[in-house]
Copies of this chain bind each other. A is one copy, B any other.
Amino acid sequence: MLVVMDAGHSPQQLKEVVKRIEKMGFKAHVIPGANSTAVGVTGNAQPLEPSLFENLPGVKQAIPVSKPYKLSSRDFKHGDTVIKLKNGLEIGTDRLIVMAGPCAVENEEQTIRIARAVKKAGAHILRGGAFKPRTSPYAFQGLGVEGLKILAAARRETGLPVVTEAIDEASLEAVYEYADIIQIGARNMQNFSLLKEAGKLDKPVLLKRGMSATLDELLMSAEYILAEGNKQLMLCERGIRTFSNHTRNTLDLNAVPVIQKLSHLPIIVDPSHATGLRDKVVPLSRAAAAVGAHGLIIEVHDRPHEALCDGPQSLPPDQLKALLAQLKAMGKVLGFKL
């Protein structure tokens, strides 16, 4: 922490700052300057909150030097986190994991049909929404537990592990029972109660970045889960909200190498929600693989004109197959497997 004093601070105010730092058990280093004076704080094991100093008289700003997250940081754990599913599949290695399936579970026939198609196309994991967080209360809200049972049936049929979203504590319990990976959606990234509950479970969690979350905030939300004991955590970039209006969101691929430098957690990319447009999903999937993502999560529907939600962004299975063939060839050049 660096505490910067106001230009017109009094010597007494500076003394008070130093006293406060020392009272906390830390060391204060006064750095006098031509235009401004600053005080460095050292000796703190945990990051400090700027507000501890910013409300002192004569203080202009407190600049944190270390990051506020700990368990999600590479400083805490140097090797990469690798998540192992029950069927042996690992996430966080040099294998590019592909999660694919319909936006929403609509019925058993549709889900099993699409599950078979994505398996045939080469996907590793089945995605599908049973609990759907929808902007409008009048839109289709998902089949709920019925949908989870259908996903479990699709897993029995295809052997594909299942990732699906929990939206509150009740659905979390149900998702925990039926799914292989619990998804926490973008709108719940700062639903701290839900994060804490997910942190107490012993199943992998996929945490999506909020629409306007900084990466520091994403890692702080990860921290909520890790701090409760659940270390099987992966993150997901799914587009952020900007002024740019030609796609639904702006896919922030910068986030992938930044997260990989800061954190040991795997990072997945969702090009379907980031673009909202089918014909943009393929090029952005290639870009996500090229930038080094650990996996992709892609909406697939074989009859997009009939889809109950997100039809316009769903890829048909044959396009998924062609994409995965292309990614496989890219992987040979770039050093990843499919």
Contacts and interface: CB of A to CB of B under 8 A. Distances in A.
A215 to B, nearest CB: 5
Contact of A312 (B31, B54, B217, B310): B54
Q: Which of A44, A283, A284, A304 has the most CB of B within 10 A?
A: A283
Interface of A: 2, 4, 7, 29, 31-36, 38, 40, 42-46, 49, 51, 54-57, 63, 65-66, 68-69, 75, 133-139, 167-171, 187-188, 190-194, 196, 211-212, 214-217, 220, 223-224, 227, 240-247, 250-258, 261, 274-275, 279-280, 283-284, 286-292, 304-305, 307, 309-312, 326, 329-330, 332-334
A55 B311 contact: yes
A222 to B, nearest CB: 10
B287 A2 contact: no
13 contacts: A51-B309, A57-B305, A63-B65, A211-B212, A214-B244, A244-B254, A246-B258, A254-B274, A254-B275, A254-B280, A257-B280, A258-B280, A286-B291
Nearest to A45: B34
A2 B310 contact: no
Nearest to A135: B220
B134 A192 contact: yes
B330 A290 contact: yes
A243 B242 contact: yes
Contact of A227 (B36, B137, B252): B137
